[in-house]
Amino acid sequence: MKGLESAIAAKADEVAVFSAASEAFTQKNINCSIAESLERFAPIMESAAQAGIKVRGYVSTVMGCPYQGDVDPQHVAKVAKAMYEMGCYEISLGDTIGVGTPLKAKRMLEAVSKEVPMNKLAAHFHDTYGQAIGNLYAVLEEGIAVIDASVAGLGGCPYAKGASGNVATEDVLYLLNGLGIKTGVDLQKLINTGHWITQQLNRTSGSKVALAMGGCDE
């Protein structure tokens, strides 16, 4: 609630709430059960609605958990449904540690889409095992149209040992361009931006497309 109050004071037009499909991860991440996390969201949803702020819901560990291993797609569907019914305008399905594979992704989405409309779902796949692009193609085929991505693949998770960043935006855009899906995003400008920020952070880009195509200073 303190975070929401700060967001309202800063005139934010959108906030997010996070839960997970894994009890073990929820305890490690926010020190409560899944049910307790959902209870905490109720007053936030109410206050956000009164302030005219949209709320996006995130479900972590949708294809695997660093503490409990495999995650049942039905558990993902149950949490996603609860967040959607609370009033989240969109539910982002997160493969937090990047252990998913295309078949797992399809089975997970099949379960969730029975409870939440497909056009209210988004994919948030980390690339720890190099499977994110394959997983995204699998769910695109099923009807997902919103993808979370990170320039140069930056990011990670402090509560998920070994988790790399979210899938690189450059790699996602290259895939979409190859599928003839128009995004309005300039790939070369995106690559240049990725090279710039990784230089500032003194780290290597996590984007295979950026490394292959190279960048230039503007």
3-state secondary structure of 92: strand
Going by C-alpha positions, the residue among 134, 109, 111 that lies closest to residue 122 is 109
- Taking every pair of Cα atoms in the chain, the longest distance, rounded to a whole number of angstroms, is 49
The sign of the torsion formed by the CA atoms of 94, 74, 20, 56 equals positive
Catalytic site residue from 32, 88, 157, 216: 157
Report the run of H or E that residue 58 belongs to, with start and end.
strand 54-60
Active site residue 157: yes
Are 26 and 32 spatial neighbours (Cβ–Cβ below 8 Å)? yes
In a 10 Å sphere around its CB, with 0-12 CB exposed, 13-18 middle and 19+ buried, how is residue 159 labelled? middle
Residues with active-site annotation: 157
